[in-house]
Amino acid sequence: MREIRNPWIGLDGYNCFGCCPTNPYGVKMRFYEDGQDVVCFWKPQDCYQSWINTLHGGIQSVLLDEVCGWVVAHVLKASGVTAKMETRFRKPVAINQEFIELRARLREQKRNIAIVDGEIRSAEGEILAECSCTYFTFDAAHAPEQVPYNPTELIGEEVTREEVITSLGV
């Protein structure tokens, strides 16, 4: 598994709620390539809860949409916008977990439409939520100014799942 460099860091106006590391209200996701999957390990926080010790469903949807969107950017080498998202919340996501794992993969692509499947897993590996996202995609030459494509690349050395989890401070 290797980290995917965030190609938008440093761009004027970049403040993504999902992946900008300097957005004070954002979820600050970092992504890794694991085979054909894009993966994120994320530490739930109290400020994102709904019911006591439960991650808000809207935040779960943000996390899933973001990891799926990074499949479009990294695997398809394109930019895109979410056209449709279907989410199934299987079990509550506890805030007091050490981490959750988000994982997404391309299911199919036809012309400029991509369907990406994502899931949230507990620290123990149990599927807590899953989604299917449909994206309208744009190659670099046709990406609108509001949705520019910036190429991703792998950075750093190969890391293990355990090393990434340890880097979360858990």
pLDDT at 74: 95
Q: Say what the pLDDT of residue 146 is.
A: 66
The greatest distance separating any two alpha carbons of the chain, rounded to the nearest whole angstrom, comes to 47
What pLDDT score does 155 carry?
86
Closest to 61 measured CA to CA, from 115, 127, 6, 133: 133
Element (H, E) at 85: strand 79-89
**Per-residue confidence (pLDDT) for residue 66, from 0 to 100:** 98
pLDDT at 170: 67
Total domains in the fold of the chain: 1
CA 91 to chain centre: 19
CATH of the domain at 155: 3.10.129.10
pLDDT value of residue 152 = 86
Which pLDDT value is given to residue 144?
67
Q: Is 58 exposed, middle or buried (0-12, 13-18, 19+ CB in 10 A)?
A: exposed
pLDDT of residue 75: 95
Give the single-character DSSP code of 76. Answer: S
**Can you give the pLDDT of all 170 residues of the chain as single tens digits?**
999 999 999 989 999 999 999 999 999 999 999 999 999 999 999 999 999 999 999 999 999 999 999 999 999 999 999 999 999 999 999 999 999 999 999 999 999 999 999 999 999 999 999 999 999 998 877 776 767 777 888 888 899 999 999 998 86
Model pLDDT, residue 95 = 96
Residue 70: give the domain boundaries. 2-167
Helix, strand, or coil (residue 56): coil
